[in-house]
Amino acid sequence: MTAATLTPVPTTATSPEARRTWWSDVWLVLVRELRPVAREPFSVVFGLVQPLVFLALFGPLLVGSAGGGLPTSDVWLWFVPSVLVMTTLFGTSTTGSNLQDEMASGSYERMLVTPLSRSSQIVGRALKEVVPLVAQGLLVVLVMLPFGLRPDPVGVVVGFVLLAVLGVGLGALSYALAIAVRQQEWMFWAVQQTFLFPLMILSGLLLPLEAGPRWMQVASAANPLRWVVDAERALFAGDLTAPVVAWGFVAAAATAVVGLAVGVRAILRASR
């Protein structure tokens, strides 16, 4: 009788490296970036100081001039979406300064030597902007409800999605700027401030552009922020199917695509 020969079945051990995907890298970076926010949630509340100041001081001026050319009699439905877009613009355009701090401390270089893909490090950071933006937007809406704000609930939710898409793009552009000017830190703020206020004014955030000169109206058409502002106002007013809503999403998506492409290109070139 011949003893049967047992052939051991080879077992393949899957290493953690093999199980890693690009999306898991993005998730790791996203969680890492959100930890400081979770440890210090007051930073999200502190970011509301500026928008609340605008609502408290600029809002009453608009209420007094409501009959003087504003496109809607409900001033809060016109102005609160503007403040939310302004919060997105100010908050995400400055996030590159956090990356500059990491460069100064050496944390950024330590991230570069990890197995995480370079592109995931930009995408994960940019996606992190969604959480504080939605939290701040929700707080602003809740604060304004006792003052007479009556937005469309579905429009508010869709509006937050629109702001999140815009915030990802602006955040990625801010990180790209921080990487590009890493040898000259002051240049980050010079460029950020140079673009910030023209974009804000030409978007009609604070005053309706319909009353402005013709050249400002033409220039605003090339400003993606203007389309997002118009879309937010339509969404809050409950006009979810307005064409301007679609144009707002196109503008926000284009900003996100361009921002992520520029950000990924910047980190790949800087780490060669």
Sequence-distant (≥ 6) Cβ neighbours of residue 19 within 8 angstroms: none
Residue 81 and residue 78: Cα distance in Å, rounded?
6
Question: Cα(255)–Cα(21) distance, rounded to whole angstroms?
Answer: 26
pLDDT (0 to 100) of residue 2: 44
| Reduced 3-state DSSP string for the chain | CCCCCCCCCCCCCCCHHHHCCHHHHHHHHHHHHHHHHHHCCHHHHHCCHHHHHHHHHCHHHHHHCCCCCCCCCCHHHHHHHHHHHHHHHHHHHCCHHHHHHHHHHCHHHHHHCCCCCHHHHHHHHHHHCHHHHHHHHHHHHHHHHHHCCCCCHHHHHHHHHHHHHHHHHHHHHHHHHHHHCCCCHHHHHHHHHHHHHHHHHCCCCCCCHHHCCHHHHHHHHCCHHHHHHHHHHHHHCCCCCCHHHHHHHHHHHHHHHHHHHHHHHHHHHHCC
pLDDT reported for residue 64: 64
Tell me the average confidence (pLDDT) per consecutive run of 10 residues in the chain, 272 residues long: 47 57 88 83 74 80 61 75 91 87 85 85 87 88 88 94 93 91 85 89 84 86 92 93 94 94 88 71
HSE (side-chain half, CA atoms, 13 Å) at 151:
28
Q: What is the pLDDT of residues 90-115, one digit of tens each?
A: 888 888 888 888 888 888 888 888 88
pTM for this prediction? 0.83
The residue among 43, 230, 228, 253 whose CA lies nearest residue 168 is 253
